[in-house]
Structure 1
């Protein structure tokens, strides 16, 4: 889904910082859960479950974090919805971009 929106240099910096903050939050959550699962593992089966968990998390991260400008509006909405991104970090984006993000959030809340 492409929105055909133009990104100014300052918006690109804001977007990159917000994206990186969300990625750090998501990876931090996964790392904490990984450490817990790994320390709780007592059998080979537990060990493979940890591997399965990491593989699934990597797939989800790869799907959720797409830094193509054509995908950022929807991506930011998903990251806000999932709790990885605070909308206030997007304050440097134009109002039209922030409004598109809010529309996706509202649509998802109704769905």
Structure 2
């Protein structure tokens, strides 16, 4: 059975175009073969990431806070990922401790006791 094909065209920066053509020629592929390979790799990578049970957590911070975090990471030798995961795990552990019978319940942000 023949695979149906469709055209895909996009304007890209000249620098990117040059790099694409150089690599494509080095690999000895036709342009359509090269682009198909790149696109398949992109989607297969996404499938692998999702298959291993991980999720992406992303957020933006102010330039000032980012600089402070970078300085802290430099002092501790941690990666951003290690630092953020550590903070999240610490907060979740504290919440779990508070939820245990006889735990030290703290007022929530609204000033009411946690249930």
TM-score by length of 2: 0.26
Structure number with larger C-alpha Rg: 2
TM-score by length of 1: 0.27
